[in-house]
């Protein structure tokens, strides 16, 4: 259904809101239109309405792209509903387009029959041309397949904020909150939290805060007063009923990572020294932790990524938990130093918030293409532990586990996140840190029988003796050390022994991590779909849908990338086919094939967008039938 | 019983390890090792509180020979490891040992940033104007025209001045000594140690195998008097066999001249007096080169400022809450909602 003007139909009034199980909304506008803030506020209101949700902020690489251009479009997608939400959604039900460029870029993702809310006031000839439209799509019938709600949001906003005496430019900046007010009405969300947010955010400019609040209220009341005329009553999405009881919040991946690292350091009874160099999309972890000095955290912005990792290693050497964080290009620079940390066997956590590459690639777009780099990307035989988070909230437990393994085994641990996980948000059942089993570190103090490479027989971890400890003075470094004395050794057979020991230590961790479980479907049979990282939601939903259709298929999702879980080989052997969807050209695929000699097949894409559920269903089905 | 016995006075030997020293016989590094061990004994250093950190090179083997804590890291990056160590434990006494290639080529960037931050440590640069460990290629301090395995017909690049770079980077303590000046070196090193903040010391070091005698024009016995000037704070800048020569700046000129007392009416009162807090003077002294000028050794510049670690603490104290944060509570701030158990 399409209506060219929102309110002209004669319609019965007092109709109830239309009940939906879930909805996908995409806010799209110019970089300067505030779509990310709008999306963030909408996320909060959906969470407070008791919905499950998943979000996908999708913004351009340019800080301030020219106004009105297609490459300046910034979008925020949210999938929210009463049942389990696994992804930010494939196609959207509602597209909010603040200008022609946003409509041009995003229309292809809207469902047939979906709703478009546009700011008619921004569809000037000039803006249409900038977006690449030859004719005005609002007028030429090309949007007939959709339900078009066109409002002169620019003018309505100016009217709504008039009394606050802002300049025209400042007044127009309130457009996004006007729109948010309208969309709140559509889904019966409450405005209170957003009003509080605005008053805090603009505490120093109360006129701007109040103008935005007026805009928000005006957008909302336009919805209320227009409903009867149009017959469109808005939607109602019931509270989710399947959430486990407890206290919830929304959390972004970067927050969960920062908090998880902090929690891990506390559980290890260590101060954390976090050293980093800014890079998109990893910087948010640095920003988050820089604000947490009261939580036994120090942060250091180094002169480059090499300095950052080396300072972190120095900090571990001196008895704190050294952590460094970057994205692929920065991780590449850290490679040599990570090798040193492997050689001297020192705890270190390295976080890689992956982005599309090679080189600068697509810095704001997500990809999972640093798996080889994590597992293999250093000179020589230099094994370390690799863990991958599958969702924003999952970053917390992965970070805690990274600290546990790094300190228990005296090893670097690489944590893989990605741009999508880092920026996306989801509801989180807040854990009780006091309920997590602590793993306090004991530094070596006893000089009896000490040398720097004296090992724990079970874990093979060497003793951690820190400068300042009487009688334990020792020298370590990158030159190979004698297994029995810890002194420099050029003896070839000793090098063999030390190389074997380093490998055995990491391999042995397979017995100290959870056995691999099945995320959906039977634990053997015809097809296993094996994933890792942020593809979790899409794969899980796709496999669940196929299971509902009676297909025999299972989902296995790896958190422990290296070492792989001890039972994984056996598990995979129980399936006729193994499919590996990844946002790269087949990296886990190669590892599984080389480790287990399974004839696994890849489902791969690298277009900067997460997998769509439908896409995966089709690919899996094709493989099953093929 | 728990009586505290004052730590025994340690001798230079107490700072030596049992590891076989692997430098070439006659290498200047041996003398520097002795000088450092003597300094540590002189200043009453505690081995368990002392950490030697190095990058890669002949010079960088140094930590293995010191009976303190030691960390031999990777090429050029020693300042960054040292910064991490000081961030984690500001109470440790950290010495960084580096070569001219390590400090000024691959690690130039880190040296600059460690100095500008003023991390409280001692940085010793063993300058032999060559890459020793990799068998004699020219280095960033090699003079233009240096013939080496990688520049058989002579190098093209202009050399960098380590001390001028340090001054330009914001170092608050810049000094020089020479491997064969066994009396001078421990005095300079003790000053470096006493200085709070980053102390930068360049030590001219003879590489007997790949660059033998490169400093002879001012370090040879017969050159010391006329081609070296040992600067001392508050003292006139005099040198020469009978201290008859001095450094002089013509009023309104920015150039140093060498003058001879008694000639052209010059008296000692005309000679510049060393002021180690004067950065302009330090920069001029750092640039003096033979044959027309003596090479300046000693403390060229010392003007303390708060260290990085102190600054970090000042900033930490700005945090709104002084008590240790409760992470569990932090996770529960902001917008939360309760999902009740289904009855
Ligand atoms: C990443 C890296 N690049 C190159 C080298 C090889 N390398 C080791 S020491 C050195 C130069 C050392 O020269 P310098 O710092 O002057 O020390 P010296 O040996 O003269 O004391 C080089 C190029 C290395 N170890 N690591
Ligand atoms: S090569 Fe030169 S610097 Fe290196 S140990 Fe031998 S003499 Fe010393
Ligand atoms: Mg050298």
Q: What is the ipTM of this complex?
A: 0.97
**A453 with A403: CB under 8 angstroms?**
no
Q: Which candidate from B47, B88, B110 shows the least CB-CB separation from A318?
A: B88
Q: Report residue A608's pLDDT band, with 50, 70 and 90 as the boundaries.
A: confident
Neighbours of ion ligand 3 (CB under 5 A): B 99-100, 128
Which DSSP symbol is given to B273?
Answer: B
Contacts of residue A47, Cβ cutoff 8 Å, sequence gap at least 6: A53, A248, A249, A250, A427, B335, B337
- For A558, counting Cβ atoms within 10 Å of its Cβ (0-12 exposed, 13-18 middle, 19+ buried), the class is buried
The angle formed by the CA atoms of residues A441, A442 and A447, to the nearest 5 degrees, is 150
Residue A56: its H or E element: strand A52-58
Q: Taking CB atoms and an 8 Å cutoff, what residues of chain B touch A294?
A: 319, 321-325
The closest residue, in CA terms, to atom 8 on ligand 2 is B27
**A219 with A180: CB under 8 angstroms?**
yes
Average pLDDT of chain A is 93
Contacts of residue A140, Cβ cutoff 8 Å, sequence gap at least 6: none
pLDDT at A14 over 70: no
Mean pLDDT of A75-98: 93
Give the model confidence (pLDDT) of B52-77 as tens digits: 999 999 999 999 999 999 999 999 99
Tokens 């004395």 belong to residue: A485
Mean pLDDT of B231-258: 94
pLDDT at A300 over 70: yes
Which residues numbered 410-469 in A keep a CB inside 8 Å of some CB on B? 429-434, 466-469
Give the model confidence (pLDDT) of B269-302 as tens digits: 999 999 999 999 999 999 999 999 999 999 999 9
Predicted local confidence at residue A441, as pLDDT: 98
User: Which of A62, A61, A58 lies closest to A36 in space, CA to CA?
Assistant: A58
Give the model confidence (pLDDT) of A527-568 as tens digits: 999 999 999 999 999 999 999 999 999 999 999 999 999 999
Task: Please list every protein residue whose CB sits less than 6 Å from any atom of ligand 2.
Answer: B 23-24, 27, 29, 58, 128, 132, 207-210
Given an 8 Å threshold on Cβ–Cβ distance, is B72 in contact with A475?
yes
Q: Report residue A227's pLDDT band, with 50, 70 and 90 as the boundaries.
A: low
Predicted local confidence at residue B25, as pLDDT: 97
pLDDT at A6 over 90: no
Given an 8 Å threshold on Cβ–Cβ distance, is A318 in contact with B335?
no
Distance CA B104, CA B94 (A): 20
Structure tokens at A431: 């854990």
Mean pLDDT of A178-197: 95
- Spatial strand order in the sheet of A246-252: A425-429, A246-252, B336-339
Structure tokens at B294: 């003596």
Q: Report residue B327's pLDDT band, with 50, 70 and 90 as the boundaries.
A: very high
Torsion-angle region of residue B49: left (phi > 0), alpha (psi -120 to 50) or beta?
A: alpha
How distant is the Cα of A343 from the closest Cα of chain B, in angstroms? Answer: 10
Report helix, strand or coil for A378. Answer: coil
Ligand with the closest atom to the CA of B25: 2
Predicted local confidence at residue A5, as pLDDT: 34
Q: What is the dihedral of CA B92, B95, B101, B102, to 10 degrees?
A: -20
pLDDT at A248 over 50: yes
Q: Which of A220-229, A294-303, B117-126, B287-296 has the lowest mean pLDDT?
A: A220-229
Closest chain B residue to A430 measured between Cα atoms?
Answer: B331
Q: Taking CB atoms and an 8 Å cutoff, what residues of chain B touch A245?
A: 339-342
Distance CA A410, CA A456 (A): 11
Q: Which candidate from A243, A315, A336 shows the least CB-CB separation from B339?
A: A243
Give the model confidence (pLDDT) of B85-114 as tens digits: 999 999 999 999 999 999 999 999 999 999
- For A504, counting Cβ atoms within 10 Å of its Cβ (0-12 exposed, 13-18 middle, 19+ buried), the class is exposed
* Residue % of chain A over a pLDDT of 70: 97
**B78 with B108: CB under 8 angstroms?**
no
* Residue % of chain B over a pLDDT of 70: 97
Which site among A271, A314, A395 would you substitute to test the B interface, given the most B Cβ atoms closer than 10 Å to its Cβ? A314
Predicted local confidence at residue B336, as pLDDT: 87
- For B302, counting Cβ atoms within 10 Å of its Cβ (0-12 exposed, 13-18 middle, 19+ buried), the class is buried
Distance CA B239, CA A166 (A): 74
CA-to-CA dists, residue B40 to B65, B215, B237, angstroms? 13, 27, 29
**A149 with A118: CB under 8 angstroms?**
yes
Q: What is the pTM of this model?
A: 0.92
The closest residue, in CA terms, to atom 9 on ligand 1 is B57
What is the sign, positive or negative, of the torsion defined by CA atoms of B313, B317, B322, B327?
negative
Q: Report residue B6's pLDDT band, with 50, 70 and 90 as the boundaries.
A: low
3-state DSSP helix/strand/coil percent for chain A, to nearest 5?
Answer: 40, 20, 35
Among B133, B142, B150, B162, the mutation site with the greatest number of ligand 1 atoms within 8 A of its Cβ is B133
Rounded to the nearest 10 degrees, the angle between the axes of helix B28-43 and helix B184-194 is: 50
CA-to-CA dists, residue A429 to A41, A250, A394, angstroms? 19, 9, 11
Give the model confidence (pLDDT) of A53-74 as tens digits: 999 988 877 777 788 899 999 9
State how far Cα B333 lies from the chain centre.
Answer: 48
Q: Report residue B3's pLDDT band, with 50, 70 and 90 as the boundaries.
A: low
Closest chain B residue to A311 measured between Cα atoms?
Answer: B84
Mean pLDDT of A450-469: 98
Which DSSP symbol is given to B274?
Answer: P
Give the model confidence (pLDDT) of A315-327 as tens digits: 999 999 999 999 9
Give the model confidence (pLDDT) of A353-399 as tens digits: 999 999 989 888 889 999 999 999 999 999 999 999 999 999 999 99
Distance CA B165, CA B104 (A): 9
Given an 8 Å threshold on Cβ–Cβ distance, is B80 in contact with A302?
yes
Mean pLDDT of A37-46: 94
What is the sign, positive or negative, of the torsion defined by CA atoms of A406, A412, A413, A417?
positive
DSSP string computed for B164-201: HHHHHTT-SEEEEEETT-TTHHHHHHHHHHHSSS-EEE
pLDDT at B342 over 80: no
Predicted local confidence at residue A3, as pLDDT: 32
Mean pLDDT of B338-342: 80
The closest residue, in CA terms, to atom 5 on ligand 1 is B75
Q: Report residue A228's pLDDT band, with 50, 70 and 90 as the boundaries.
A: low
pLDDT at A163 over 90: yes
Rounded to the nearest 10 degrees, the angle between the axes of helix A153-161 and helix A175-187 is: 100
Tokens 């600290």 belong to residue: A403
Contacts of residue B10, Cβ cutoff 8 Å, sequence gap at least 6: B40, B41, B44, B45, B47
Distance CA A106, CA A35 (A): 14
Report helix, strand or coil for A351. Answer: strand
Report helix, strand or coil for B302. Answer: strand
Distance CA B138, CA A46 (A): 66
Q: Taking CB atoms and an 8 Å cutoff, what residues of chain B touch A193?
A: 335
Distance CA A416, CA A399 (A): 10
Predicted local confidence at residue B4, as pLDDT: 62
Q: Report residue A604's pLDDT band, with 50, 70 and 90 as the boundaries.
A: very high
- Spatial strand order in the sheet of A601-604: A553-558, A525-532, A575-582, A601-604
CA-to-CA dists, residue A491 to A38, A73, A453, A504, angstroms? 63, 61, 16, 20
Contacts of residue A412, Cβ cutoff 8 Å, sequence gap at least 6: A338, A341, A342, A346, A347, A348, A349, A350, A384, A385, A406
Q: Residue B204 Cα, ligand 3 centroid: separation in angstroms?
A: 10
Q: Say how many C-beta atoms besides its own lie within 10 A of residue B12's C-beta.
A: 17
Closest chain B residue to A477 measured between Cα atoms?
Answer: B72
Given an 8 Å threshold on Cβ–Cβ distance, is A314 in contact with B83?
yes
Distance CA B239, CA B246 (A): 6
**A613 with A90: CB under 8 angstroms?**
yes
Q: Say how many C-beta atoms besides its own lie within 10 A of residue B64's C-beta.
A: 21
Given an 8 Å threshold on Cβ–Cβ distance, is B56 in contact with A478?
yes
Given an 8 Å threshold on Cβ–Cβ distance, is A314 in contact with B74?
no
Torsion-angle region of residue A608: left (phi > 0), alpha (psi -120 to 50) or beta?
A: left
Predicted local confidence at residue A12, as pLDDT: 40
Helical segments of A271-393, H only:
283-290, 305-317, 328-344, 371-376
Count how many Cα atoms sit within 13 Å of the Cα of residue A21 in the half-sphere of its side chain.
Answer: 4
* Residue % of chain B over a pLDDT of 90: 89
pLDDT at A2 over 60: no
Distance CA A32, CA B135 (A): 58
What is the sign, positive or negative, of the torsion defined by CA atoms of B115, B117, B123, B129?
negative
Radius of gyration of chain A (CA): 27
User: Which of B264, B163, B236, B201 lies closest to B36 in space, CA to CA?
Assistant: B201
């Amino acid at each position: 259904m399409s209506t060219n003007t929102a309110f002209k139909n004669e319609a019965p009034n007092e109709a109830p809101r239309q009940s939906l199980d879930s909805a996908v909304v995409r806010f799209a506008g110019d970089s300067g239109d505030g779509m990310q803030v709008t999306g963030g506020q909408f996320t909060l209101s959906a969470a407070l309405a008791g919905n499950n949700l998943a979000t996908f902020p999708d913004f351009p690489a340019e800080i301030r792209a020219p106004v009105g251009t297609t490459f300046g479009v910034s979008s925020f997608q949210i999938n929210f509903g009463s049942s389990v939400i696994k992804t930010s959604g494939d196609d959207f039900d509602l597209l909010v387009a603040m200008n022609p460029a946003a409509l041009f870029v995003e229309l292809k993702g809207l469902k047939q029959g979906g709703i478009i809310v546009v700011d008619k006031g921004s569809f000037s000839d000039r803006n249409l041309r900038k977006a690449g439209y030859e004719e005005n799509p609002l007028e030429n019938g090309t949007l007939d397949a959709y339900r078009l709600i066109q409002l002169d949001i620019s003018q309505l906003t100016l009217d709504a904020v008039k009394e606050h005496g802002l300049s025209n430019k400042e007044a127009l900046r309130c457009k996004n909150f006007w729109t948010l007010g309208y969309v709140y009405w559509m889904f019966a969300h409450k405005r209170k939290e957003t009003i509080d947010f605005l008053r805090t955010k603009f505490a120093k400019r109360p006129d701007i805060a109040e103008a935005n609040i007026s805009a928000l209220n005006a957008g909302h009341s336009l919805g209320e007063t227009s409903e009867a005329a149009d017959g469109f009553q808005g939607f109602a999405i019931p509270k989710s009923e399947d959430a486990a009881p407890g206290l919830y919040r929304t959390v972004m991946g970067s927050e969960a990572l920062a908090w998880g690292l902090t929690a891990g350091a506390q559980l290890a009874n260590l101060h954390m020294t976090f050293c980093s160099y800014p890079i998109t999309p990893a910087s948010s972890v640095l920003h988050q932790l820089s604000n947490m000095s009261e939580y036994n955290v120090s942060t250091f912005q180094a002169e480059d990524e090499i300095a950052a990792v080396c300072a972190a290693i120095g900090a571990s050497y001196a008895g704190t938990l050294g952590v460094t964080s970057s994205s692929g290009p920065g991780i590449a620079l850290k490679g040599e130093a990570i090798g040193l940390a492997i050689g001297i066997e020192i705890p270190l956590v390295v976080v890689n918030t992956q982005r599309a590459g090679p080189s600068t690639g697509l810095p704001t777009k997500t990809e999972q293409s640093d798996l080889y780099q994590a597992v293999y990307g250093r000179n020589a035989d230099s094994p370390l532990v690799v863990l991958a988070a599958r969702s924003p909230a999952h970053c917390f437990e992965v970070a805690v586990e990274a600290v546990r393994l790094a300190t228990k085994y005296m090893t670097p641990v690489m944590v893989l996140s990605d741009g999508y996980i880092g920026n996306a948000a989801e509801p989180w059942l807040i854990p009780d840190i006091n309920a997590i089993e602590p793993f306090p570190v004991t530094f070596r103090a006893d000089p009896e029988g000490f040398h720097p490479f004296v090992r724990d027989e079970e874990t093979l971890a060497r003793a951690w003796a820190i400068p300042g400890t009487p009688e334990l003075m020792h020298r370590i470094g990158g030159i190979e050390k004698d297994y029995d004395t810890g002194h420099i050794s050029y003896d070839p057979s000793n090098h063999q022994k030390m190389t074997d020991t380093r490998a055995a230590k990491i391999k042995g961790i397979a017995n100290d991590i959870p056995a691999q479980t099945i995320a959906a479907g039977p634990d053997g049979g015809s097809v296993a779909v094996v994933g890792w990282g942020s593809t979790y939601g899409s794969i899980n939903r796709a496999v669940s849908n196929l299971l509902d259709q009676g297909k025999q298929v299972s989902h296995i999702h790896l958190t422990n990338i290296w070492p792989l879980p001890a039972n994984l080989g056996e598990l995979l052997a129980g399936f006729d086919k193994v499919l590996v969807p990844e946002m790269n050209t087949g990296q886990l695929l190669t590892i599984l094939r080389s480790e287990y000699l399974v004839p696994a097949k890849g489902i791969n894409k690298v277009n900067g967008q997460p997998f769509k559920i439908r896409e995966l269903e089709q690919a899996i089905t094709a493989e099953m039938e093929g | 019983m728990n009586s505290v016995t004052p730590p025994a006075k340690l001798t230079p030997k107490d700072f030596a390890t049992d590891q076989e020293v692997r430098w070439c016989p006659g290498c200047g590094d041996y003398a520097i090792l002795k000088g450092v061990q003597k300094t540590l004994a002189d200043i009453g250093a505690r081995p368990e509180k002392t950490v030697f950190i190095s990058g890669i090179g002949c010079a960088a083997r140094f930590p293995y020979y010191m009976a303190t804590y030691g960390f031999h890291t990777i090429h050029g990056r020693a300042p960054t490891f040292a910064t991490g160590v000081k961030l984690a434990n500001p109470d440790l006494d950290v010495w960084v040992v580096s070569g001219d290639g390590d400090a000024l080529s691959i690690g130039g960037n880190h040296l600059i940033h460690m100095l500008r931050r003023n991390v409280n440590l001692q940085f010793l640069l063993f300058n032999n104007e060559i890459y020793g460990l990799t068998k004699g290629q020219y280095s960033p301090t090699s003079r233009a025209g240096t013939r080496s395995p990688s520049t058989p017909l002579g190098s093209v690049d202009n050399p960098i001045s380590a001390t001028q770079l340090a001054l330009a980077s914001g170092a608050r303590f810049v000094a020089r000594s020479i491997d064969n000046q066994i009396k001078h070196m421990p005095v300079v090193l003790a000053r470096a140690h006493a200085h709070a903040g980053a102390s930068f010391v360049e030590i001219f070091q003879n590489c007997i195998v790949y660059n033998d005698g490169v400093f002879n024009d001012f370090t040879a016995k017969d050159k010391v008097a006329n081609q070296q000037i040992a600067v001392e704070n508050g003292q006139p800048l005099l040198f020469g066999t009978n201290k008859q020569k001095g450094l002089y700046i013509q009023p309104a000129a920015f150039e140093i001249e060498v003058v001879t007392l008694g000639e052209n009416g010059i008296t000692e009162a005309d000679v510049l007096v060393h002021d180690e807090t004067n950065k302009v003077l330090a920069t001029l002294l750092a640039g003096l080169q033979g044959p027309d000028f003596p090479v300046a050794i000693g403390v060229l510049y010392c003007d303390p400022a708060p260290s990085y670690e102190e600054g970090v603490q000042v900033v930490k104290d700005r945090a709104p809450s002084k008590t240790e944060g409760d992470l569990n509570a932090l996770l529960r701030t902001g917008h939360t909602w309760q999902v009740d158990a289904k009855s």
